[in-house]
Structure 1
Amino acid sequence: MYKRSKMNDENKGQLSMEVVEPEDAETDTDSDSASDAEDESAKPKVPKEVYLPGKMLAEDEELVCDESAYVMLHQASTGAPCLSFDVIPDELGTGRQAFPMAAYIVAGTQSARTHVNNLIVMKMSNLHKTQEDDGDEDEELEDDQDDIADREELKKPQMTCALIKHQGCVNRVRARRLGNTVYAASWSELGRVNIWNLTQPLQAVEDASLLKQYEQQNEDRPMFTFGGHHQEGFAVDWSPIAEGVLATGDCRRDIHVWSPLEDGTWKVDQRPLVGHSQSVEDLQWSPNERSVLASCSVDKTIRIWDCRAAPQKACMLTCQDAHESDVNVISWNHSEPFIASGGDDGFLHIWDLRQFQSQKPIATFKHHTDHITTVEWSPCEATVLASGGDDDQIALWDLAVEKDTDQAQANAQNEDEVSNLPPQLLFIHQGQKEIKELHWHAQLPGVLLSTAHSGFNIFRTISV
């Protein structure tokens, strides 16, 4: 089940972004660097090993990021942690592969003091590759230290933020572009769901003078608020097909469907969808059926709804005991009839909706060692998905990878833990504490963003 994780406000307002330095980067540029190198070469080489989550480190061991495994890796800090965020669709084009990259997101803070929470609209820009190309390395050898320092300064990632005051901690936030306007729906711990027009903050992060003016005059108010839920909640999703249609679910058990009106407001059906017996943890609209919705709950079920039916009859399919305990998150595949689910039991299940009534997943992975808090299919590759959780790791999976029989026999005789990992596991990303949510960037193939108690990461691996 979702639980908030608040921190104090000592770092409030400290927004920063940095590149994660390669482990072999040379940081010493003074005259002593040569002698230091000689001292280092005199030391015995310590063999490096692949670290798997859950393994105990010896007192003289430390974890070091292998930068060669990343095309790009940057991190950002927002002071107060953000439990939830969403990628804002931009107008810079799809399938962008060129560096430096740029991305826009909206996130919600989890401050210990209710009245100092914010929605943060962020522009992350000047996102360069983490590893230099061979040609760049040759140029650096020919350049003097001043030139290298200037070049590194020019390559520093940039982050610009516009803050919107938010009443209560932001449990979850989701963005949707409708026409030329970007909207965000936010769940507040105070039990209200707000709709925000992000036009002004998005303009502000593009221009320093506009940002200063925005900060001085910022009196943003939600354009619509629904207070009809009886408890706070976490579940919210915009329909990807029906423009402006929204669904929200709360910690009591209720799901409400929203429909847009011509006057720029929403009509919320006061009759909740009937079926769940405990907290609704996540919702996902079907990517190709405009009236079909999926939900998961603390009651261990995953349900499929047809919202054209009356609320008490809308539940069409139910998978009982989908997990051994709370079902935290679900993700609907963009092109195949698959749903991925993650739970408090640490299991990642893949469900084929054509076989949903069998109550059995078509694939199950038990790699995570703690609650799974986030899962999402890649928008670019139908067989690829990512999962993350309280074990401080993000796992990338490719269901198209099959087990090699000969390799499996060899692994059976091999005590090496790495060789015994499931073949579908492509990559393990670590370095963040208490991972809360991840999203693929639909317009930047292979790029993932994640938020955790320790801040944000934006990265692309060599695996996807």
Structure 2
Amino acid sequence: MGPPKKAKAKASASGSPKKKAKKSARKKAEPMTVDGEQSEPSNPAVWRPGLDEVGEDEELQYDPSTYDCMHTMSLDWPCLSFDILPDGLGGPRSAFPHSISIVAGTQAANARQNSIALLKLSNLGQGKHGEKAPKEDDSDDDMSESDEDEEGPPVMHLRQIGLSCGVNRVRAMPQQPGVVAAWGDNGQVSIWDMGMQLNEVTAADDERAQRGKPQRQEPRHVHRHSSECEGFALDWSRAAAGRLASGDCRKGIHVWDANEKGNWSRVCERQGHEDSVEDIQWSPVEGTVFASCSVDKTIRIWDTRGKPTPQLSVVAHAADVNVISWSAQSTFMLASGGDDGALRVWDLRMFGRDAAANEASFVANFTYHRGPVTSVEWCPAEATMLATSSADGQLAVWDLAVERDPEEEAALAAHMNAASPEDLPAQLLFVHLSQGEIKEAHWHPQIPGMLVTTAADGFTIFKPSNVP
């Protein structure tokens, strides 16, 4: 994990410009009156959802300098799930404007209005966010509004495959991003070849938005779990190309592989959970090992080569375990989030070793969120950093290597944009408040620090300024 880091100097709880009257980062600073005279306003305070009230004379605002960029976009229907596709633009890359590609699955009001959508979002500039170096011929007075106009608006290219069901979860194969798996609410896991659509949006003119109508095509493969029950758990193996695992709401886990002809067949079936399987994560280095979590409050480790029972098991949370993430950099680390609002981090080398104390075998436990944790993911660029999203409307960025330094915080207090409450964990680097109930969040694998979230009101693409 590396040596501890000192706490970051910049307070960075933030909100959305479109909803600053409802969702925001800090209270507006008001001048203080002393003996009839107004003094200079104090530093604004961080607003904590569920804890702090907003007075009738107070306004919630966010500080644009806490982001390097932030953009929002939406489709015709909300998306519960999406995946970021690696592209051919290289990485790590940091120069603006950025371009990213996403695959998402919709949840429409009418089943036949659903689709799997493949998007390229280009010309993602900084706008009014971040600290930009002034041009030689610009004075400080002309920098406020001109930058966003010069960059031009973001451009979206969209291709869709029409479906007759809603999409609970969608994942793209890491080794072949045009191959996409979708868990439908009709009880089917389907695999789609979207290579043509990916090529079309990749080659599209970045200056002109394109939005194709949903196309109808047959999936490459359809797989049903027992009794046509639906599910949410779905993951491609990063170590074995074409290997997919899916878990259903009736405790079942199926693993299937692609053969040389590109057809899929079931390799094995696993039973061991006592309730719905909520998430699955393959080991980043072992092609036969995966983890699962469940409503039964446990995390279990499986090996497809062995017996149909789990190799390891631990009671992980006090409530349903919703999501897990297996670190690709520190491959012995696993993170989990539950209905209890807790983020827990596990060292698999010690996982469940003491059966009598297995509920306390985690290496880190944070209970910051005020609602169920809906997504957790390790940062691909920083081994000690991860992000969580929650039904409380917050996305939080964490760095496990940070430790609090009171002397440094006191020295820098005058320069901080907001005073951080002492009860916030030192490891909490950034809080993003732009949406309602965030369903999923992912880091971009090639743009360090960039995050994408989805909720009922659409997507947000942003990069915190204090995240490397």
Q: 1:186 — aligned with what?
A: 182
Q: For 2:328 and 2:137, locate their aligned partners in 1 and report how far apart those are by CA, in whole Å.
A: 43
- How far has the Cα of 1:77 moved from its partner? 1.3
Q: For 2:211 and 2:217, locate their aligned partners in 1 and report how far apart those are by CA, in whole Å.
A: 10
1:156-212, Cα deviation, whole Å (9 max, x unpaired): 111111111122110000012435x62110000000001111112112324569x99
Assess if the C-alpha contact under 8 Å between 2:452 and 2:462 holds in 1. Answer: yes
Structure 1 residue ranges without an equivalent (≥5): 1-18, 24-42, 411-415
Instruction: Describe the shift of the 1:187–1:449 C-alpha distance in structure 2 as closer, same or farther (beyond 3 A).
Output: same
Q: For 1:216 and 1:422, locate their aligned partners in 2 and report how far apart those are by CA, in whole Å.
A: 47
- How far has the Cα of 1:52 moved from its partner? 1.4
Judge which range, 186-195 or 56-65, deviates more: 56-65
Instruction: Describe the shift of the 1:217–1:66 C-alpha distance in structure 2 as closer, same or farther (beyond 3 A).
Output: closer
User: Equivalent residue of 2:199, what SS?
Assistant: helix
Instruction: Describe the shift of the 1:417–1:405 C-alpha distance in structure 2 as closer, same or farther (beyond 3 A).
Output: closer
What amino acid maps onto 2:319 in structure 1? Answer: S
- TM-score in terms of structure 1 length: 0.82
Instruction: Describe the shift of the 1:214–1:392 C-alpha distance in structure 2 as closer, same or farther (beyond 3 A).
Output: closer
Judge which range, 128-137 or 234-243, deviates more: 128-137
Q: For 1:259 and 1:79, locate their aligned partners in 2 and report how far apart those are by CA, in whole Å.
A: 34
Assess if the C-alpha contact under 8 Å between 2:372 and 2:392 holds in 1. Answer: yes
Q: For 2:111 and 2:226, locate their aligned partners in 1 and report how far apart those are by CA, in whole Å.
A: 19
Q: 1:335 — aligned with what?
A: 329
Q: For 1:138 and 1:427, locate their aligned partners in 2 and report how far apart those are by CA, in whole Å.
A: 34
> Alignment length, in residue pairs?
414
- How far has the Cα of 1:217 moved from its partner? 8.7
Structure 2 residue ranges without an equivalent (≥5): 1-15, 21-37, 412-418
Q: 1:238 — aligned with what?
A: 236
Assess if the C-alpha contact under 8 Å between 1:192 and 1:229 holds in 2. Answer: no
Instruction: Describe the shift of the 1:273–1:157 C-alpha distance in structure 2 as closer, same or farther (beyond 3 A).
Output: same
**Counterpart check, 1:454 vs 2:457:** yes
**Counterpart check, 1:367 vs 2:368:** yes
Larger relative contact order (CA 8 Å, sep ≥ 6): 2
**Counterpart check, 1:382 vs 2:383:** yes
User: Equivalent residue of 1:420, what SS?
Assistant: coil
Q: For 1:62 and 1:101, locate their aligned partners in 2 and report how far apart those are by CA, in whole Å.
A: 32
What amino acid maps onto 1:204 in structure 2? Answer: E
Following TM superposition, the consecutive aligned residue runs of length 4 or more in structure 1 with deviations greater than 3 angstroms are: 19-23, 43-48, 140-145, 206-209, 211-217, 403-410
User: Which residues of 2 match residues 41-440 of structure 1 at below 5 A?
Assistant: 48-54=44-50, 55-129=52-126, 130-131=129-130, 133-136=132-135, 139=138, 148=146, 152=149, 154-178=151-175, 182-206=178-202, 215=212, 218-230=215-227, 231-269=229-267, 272-311=269-308, 313=309, 315-320=310-315, 322-336=316-330, 337-357=332-352, 358=354, 359=358, 360-404=361-405, 418-440=421-443
Assess if the C-alpha contact under 8 Å between 2:300 and 2:314 holds in 1. Answer: yes
Q: For 1:118 and 1:287, locate their aligned partners in 2 and report how far apart those are by CA, in whole Å.
A: 29
User: Equivalent residue of 1:125, what SS?
Assistant: strand
Instruction: Describe the shift of the 1:172–1:256 C-alpha distance in structure 2 as closer, same or farther (beyond 3 A).
Output: same
Assess if the C-alpha contact under 8 Å between 1:80 and 1:111 holds in 2. Answer: yes
- How far has the Cα of 1:403 moved from its partner? 3.6
Assess if the C-alpha contact under 8 Å between 1:22 and 1:67 holds in 2. Answer: no
- TM-score in terms of structure 2 length: 0.82
Instruction: Describe the shift of the 1:453–1:62 C-alpha distance in structure 2 as closer, same or farther (beyond 3 A).
Output: farther
Structure having the higher helix fraction is 1
What amino acid maps onto 2:374 in structure 1? Answer: T
- How far has the Cα of 1:274 moved from its partner? 1.7
- How far has the Cα of 1:128 moved from its partner? 1.0
Q: For 1:212 and 1:138, locate their aligned partners in 2 and report how far apart those are by CA, in whole Å.
A: 32
- How far has the Cα of 1:459 moved from its partner? 0.9
- How far has the Cα of 1:60 moved from its partner? 2.9
User: Equivalent residue of 1:324, what SS?
Assistant: coil
Q: For 2:137 and 2:372, locate their aligned partners in 1 and report how far apart those are by CA, in whole Å.
A: 46
- How far has the Cα of 1:252 moved from its partner? 0.5
Q: For 2:256 and 2:39, locate their aligned partners in 1 and report how far apart those are by CA, in whole Å.
A: 65
- How far has the Cα of 1:354 moved from its partner? 1.1
Instruction: Describe the shift of the 1:325–1:21 C-alpha distance in structure 2 as closer, same or farther (beyond 3 A).
Output: closer
Instruction: Describe the shift of the 1:177–1:406 C-alpha distance in structure 2 as closer, same or farther (beyond 3 A).
Output: closer
Assess if the C-alpha contact under 8 Å between 2:156 and 2:209 holds in 1. Answer: no
Assess if the C-alpha contact under 8 Å between 1:185 and 1:196 holds in 2. Answer: yes
Instruction: Describe the shift of the 1:44–1:73 C-alpha distance in structure 2 as closer, same or farther (beyond 3 A).
Output: farther
User: Equivalent residue of 1:201, what SS?
Assistant: helix
Q: For 1:407 and 1:252, locate their aligned partners in 2 and report how far apart those are by CA, in whole Å.
A: 52
Q: For 2:390 and 2:188, locate their aligned partners in 1 and report how far apart those are by CA, in whole Å.
A: 26
Q: 2:30 — aligned with what?
A: none
Fraction of identical pairs, as percent = 45
